[in-house]
Amino acid sequence: MGDSPPKHSNSRAQYGEYHVTATTSGSTDTLDVLLIEDNADFAGNLQEILESEGASITRAGSVAEARDHLKRRQPDVAFVDLRLPDGSGEDLLVHLGEVYPDCLSIVLTGNATIQSAITAVEKGAFAFLLKDMPVEAVVAAFRKAKERHRLEKDRDRLERQLRHQEQLAMIGQMAATLAHEIRNPITGIRQALEVILEATGEPPGMEGIKKTMLDRLVRLHELVDDLLVFSRPIVVKRHPTSIRELVTMAWHEVRRDQPPQDVLFRIDIEEQVSTWPLDANSFRLVLRNLFENALLAVEGVPEPRIEVSARHAGSGKRFLLEIHDSGPGLAPDVATEIFKPFFTTRTRGTGLGLALTQRVIEEHNGTISAFNHPEGGAVFRIVLPES
């Protein structure tokens, strides 16, 4: 059974008589709190106290219930009882650290040993409390967690602002390139219109002129679309994501938009990384860009092949994803150039695909690199930490 408050504990430990008069943490934010506790009375009392401290509580009475909730939602703070009817809170601590590294876990146990405290902290607990401690200790730990959460949010916001400013500065620098990119298709359209206007009656080659105009307009449209995506700040919210599902979805989307081509597509995902905390929306964009490029690279090569592999990297705390195609590989000396905005070797390319891809990966605190495989073809390698 779970650890209930010790018999000798006073009413404060049961928290039944606790009344909060003021919140001193200074933050008015509501925190999402997952209360993992199988003793319903104890959990009820604690819930009341935490709610008066500005928490929005969800309760879980077992490891299974907690895991089920965690599949759907990331808590800001989790109170974790160590002994639960169907398993140990220690395993939950590890699980929480894996799927939501930003969540602050507070262990609240009735049966503590020095060893259990050390283990809990090693497994990532933010605080370790005993159920017979005065209730003020629990409130103090929660307020500390709130403060930490607020500071981290502030830091993230400042970092985002800074990155957005850097992006804006970069967009400023890109203006000259852009002017050139826009000028070309506009000149094409203008010349075509001049021919039409100067001709008396239908000018010769009218079909071709119309096609040129449409082609240039499509080009302008694509450019503006890409720029819009590129100039927006990228907000990354990580959730445990099935890598296979995401890869498959991105692949189908790209295939749908591209001319049909017989390509062997293989996915190889190591069991331990089958789910990984990612921002599925922006990461899908990354995969789409890389698949689009890979499909273009294998166009016309014999036995075209694109292989995706995902595995652990280094100590196992990092996720490594590679996309290997059987195309001609990267042109010499462009491995770093290709991530720069507007770098393209394609006549119809904008050169924003990989720049955007790199930005999303960096927002995930990860890295992306590209190299040629010894057996041929280009490899794009993404390395992502857990948080």
Ligand X SMILES: Nc1ncnc2c1ncn2[C@@H]1O[C@H](COP(=O)(O)OP(=O)(O)OP(=O)(O)O)[C@@H](O)[C@H]1O
Which residues of the chain form contacts with ligand X (CB under 6 A)?
Answer: 226, 289, 293-294, 297, 325, 327, 329-330, 338, 343-346, 349-355, 378
Euclidean distance between the first and final Cα of the chain, in Å?
34
Q: Is 357 in the site for Mg ion (CB under 5 A)?
A: no
As a whole number of Å, the CA-based R_g of the chain is: 28
- Considering CB distances under 5 to 8 angstroms, the limit depending on partner class, which of Mg ion, ligand X, none binds residue 101? none
275 binds, among Mg ion, ligand X, none (CB under 5 to 8 A by kind): none
Give yes or no for residue 350 binding Mg ion (CB under 5 A): no
Q: At what angle do helices 353-363 and 206-231 cross, to 10 degrees?
A: 10
CA distance 288 to 114: 50
| Residue whose CB is less far from ligand X, 100 or 343 | 343
In the list ligand X, Mg ion, none, the entry touching 350 (Cβ below 5 to 8 angstroms by class) is ligand X
Angle between helices 243-257 and 280-298 (to 10 degrees): 50
9/372 with CB nearer ligand X: 372
Residue 97 touches which of ligand X, Mg ion, none (Cβ within 5-8 Å per kind)? none
Query: Taking the CB of residue 354, how many other CB atoms lie within 10 A of it?
Result: 23
Q: Which residues contact 61 (CB under 8 A, 6 or more apart)?
A: 36, 37, 38, 40, 43, 84, 85
Residue with Cβ nearer ligand X (219 or 364): 219
CB nearer ligand X, residue 99 or residue 294:
294
CB 352 → Mg ion: shortest distance, Å?
8
Counting Cα atoms < 13 Å in the Cβ hemisphere of 72 gives 7
Count of residues that bind Mg ion according to CB under 5 A = 2
CB of 292 to ligand X, least distance (A): 6
Q: Given the structure tokens 């206007």, which residue do they identify? A: 197
Give residues with Cβ within 8 angstroms of 85, minimum separation 6.
1, 2, 38, 61, 62
293 in contact with Mg ion (CB under 5 A): yes
**Closest distance of CB 226 from ligand X, Å:** 6
Q: Which one, 102 or 222, has the nearer CB to ligand X? A: 222
343 binds, among Mg ion, ligand X, none (CB under 5 to 8 A by kind): ligand X
Instruction: Fill in the DSSP letter of residue 332.
Output: T
Output the DSSP codes for 191-248. HHHHHHHHSSSSPTTHHHHHHHHHHHHHHHHHHHHHHHHHHSPPPP--EEEEHHHHHH
Pick one of ligand X, Mg ion, none as the site partner of residue 294 (Cβ within 5 to 8 A by kind).
ligand X
Distance of closest approach, residue 349 Cβ to Mg ion, in angstroms? 6
Provide, rounded to whole angstroms, the least separation between the CB of residue 306 and ligand X.
Answer: 9
Select the binding partner of residue 75 from ligand X, Mg ion, none (C-beta < 5 to 8 A, by kind): none
Question: Which lies closer to ligand X via its Cβ, residue 13 or residue 330?
Answer: 330
